[in-house]
Each structure stands twice: as C-alpha cells, then as structure tokens.
Chain A
C-alpha cells in the first residue's frame, strides 16, 4: 500500500529542483563567473560620468528653507481664488444667481486666510 503522502512526491521534487536552481545561479554568478570576467579596477572607472568632462559644479543639492513650503501653499490658495474670480466676474452679468455661490467660496477661503494670518504665516522672519 502506498504511503498517504506519496501523491505529494512531485511537489517535493519540484521544491528540491527550485532550491538547487536558485543555489546554482547564486554560486555561478557570485563565485564562478567573476573568475572568468576581466577584472581591472581603475580609479577612472569610478569617477562620475559627465560625458567625459570633470564635474564642474558640486553641491547642487542644497537644502531649501521650509518657509518656501508655506509660501507655495499660500500661493496656491490665492492663485486658485484669482483663477476662479476672473472668469466669474467676466460672465457675472449673464449669471446673477452665481453671486451666492461665489460668496460662499470666498467665505471659505477667508476662513483659511484668517487662520493663516492668525498663525503668523505672513511673517517672514521667525
């Protein structure tokens, strides 16, 4: 009588094959192939590649003050407001009923404006 686990023998074989393949790839690429490839470490090969020209400018990555983040956020606030206001003002005569809607939009932004003012977001030196 066959062992109750015998239908799973192919799974075991598959697992073994997978393990051996993975190990063989690691051993080949890690130990065997580096013996075959040309190995000539040179300082020039580690230099920055700037199309062959020595890099002129260093320190292009400076830190920016977090204050600019606030400025950008405030810009978006007033920018969106103006972008809405202008076309609305142009077409206002033909759509008088939009007055209430625009008033509520302005009121919403006014709350944000007052909040930012109260937090001192418009003070540059802090």
Chain B
C-alpha cells in the first residue's frame, strides 16, 4: 500500500488568494447610470450578454449593499459630490469601473460644467473606452477588474480606501470652514490639486 503524501492530500494557499477568489466571483454592481452608457449596461445585465455568468448578477441600487460601482455616463461638476458620497457609502472592499469616455475623461464634453474624468475625485480601477462601449466591452472591463482583484493584496486595498475617507474629511472640513456648497468645495480642492500638480483630490 502506497504511503499517503501530505502534499497530495492537502492544498495550501495564501489567505489573499482565497479571499480574492471569493471577492472576484461575487461582485455586486451598483449602477451609477447618468447617461447613455447605462442603456448598454441594461443590455449587459439582461439575458443576451448576461453578466451573471461572472458572478455579478446581484445588482443593487443602494450603495449599502454593493461593492462594484459602474459609472455610466457624464459626471458634471454638480454631480461630483453626489458621486463621492455614494462611493463613501458603499460596502467595503469596493471597486470602481469608469464606463465610457465621458466618465473616464470628460469625453467630448470639454466644458466648464463637466468633470474631466471621475478619477479626479474617486479612485478608479478599470476604464472602459467607447461612446458608449458595447456590452462586450463592459464585460471585458469587469473581467479585467477580476484579474486585478486576483492580484491585489488585502492591505493595499484597505489603504487605498482609507486615503479616500481622509480626503472626504478634508472636504467636509473645508466646506464647513469656508461656508461653501459641496460643489464649490470639490472645485476648490480640484484647483488646489491642479496647482500642486497631482490631479486628484483623494
């Protein structure tokens, strides 16, 4: 009778790998649908393209129950504080996919009213190009995010989110100190970041 080798019987792995495997296959999308990309998103979620094949079918319209935010459309400066609040309220760990050129860089709306890329105000993990991107592209974006989740370390993700909350505190303090609206506060912070040459406010 052959000896039972411990290496054949027991599978060892890292905690990161197990936890990330679970996370990447149970993403709960939160659609931040503000423009036409959201129509493509509907198509992606429904039967033909069917995102549930990737374990992300439990779509929730409340940030409290979801951990993958899809920004689907043009984010105006007026909408910027709303986006930050909703990102702050999402369950942790959280990821962001910026869908379409408007969300990623302002796209064709190179105007005073439009935020030139959501990565200035919240941390973005994956950018999906297109105007609007086809459902396949958004699915590819989700797959890219899954690849990234597989690789990331747990503490890195934590620091990343902590930095955002720290910037939210600065935003609230600035708003209270100067008596501004939340939109004006974010504008101030963006101007300041631009002067320092960082480009992001978190």
Which residues from chain A sit less than 8 Å from chain B, CB to CB?
36, 38, 40, 42, 44-45, 47, 49, 51-54
List, sorted by A's number, 9 A–B pairs whose CB atoms are closer than 8 Å: A36-B19, A38-B93, A38-B158, A40-B92, A47-B89, A49-B63, A51-B86, A52-B81, A52-B86
For A40, give its contact among B62, B82, B84, B161 (CB under 8 Å): B161
Interface residues of B in 71-104 (CB under 8 A from A): 81-86, 88-89, 92-93
Instruction: Judge whether A52 and B161 touch: CB under 8 Å.
Output: no
> Which of A36, A38, A40, A47 has the most chain B CB within a 10 Å cutoff?
A38
Query: Known contacts A40-B158, A51-B86, A52-B84; can you find 15 more A-B pairs with CB under 8 A?
Result: A40-B161, A40-B165, A44-B88, A44-B89, A44-B165, A44-B168, A47-B89, A49-B89, A51-B82, A52-B83, A52-B86, A52-B89, A53-B82, A53-B85, A54-B182
**Per-residue 0/1 for B14-50: is the Cβ within 8 Å of any A Cβ (1 yes, 0 no)?**
0000010000000000000000000000000000000
Interface size class of B (residues with CB under 8 A): 20 to 34
Q: How many contacts between A and B, using CB within 8 angstroms?
A: 37
Residue B162 CB within 8 A of the other chain: yes
Chain A residues positioned under 8 Å from B163 (CB to CB): none
**Residues of A with C-beta under 8 A to B168:** 44
Contacting pair B82 A49 (CB below 8 A): no
Is B64's CB within 8 Å of the partner chain A?
A: yes
**B92 pairs with A44, CB closer than 8 A:** no
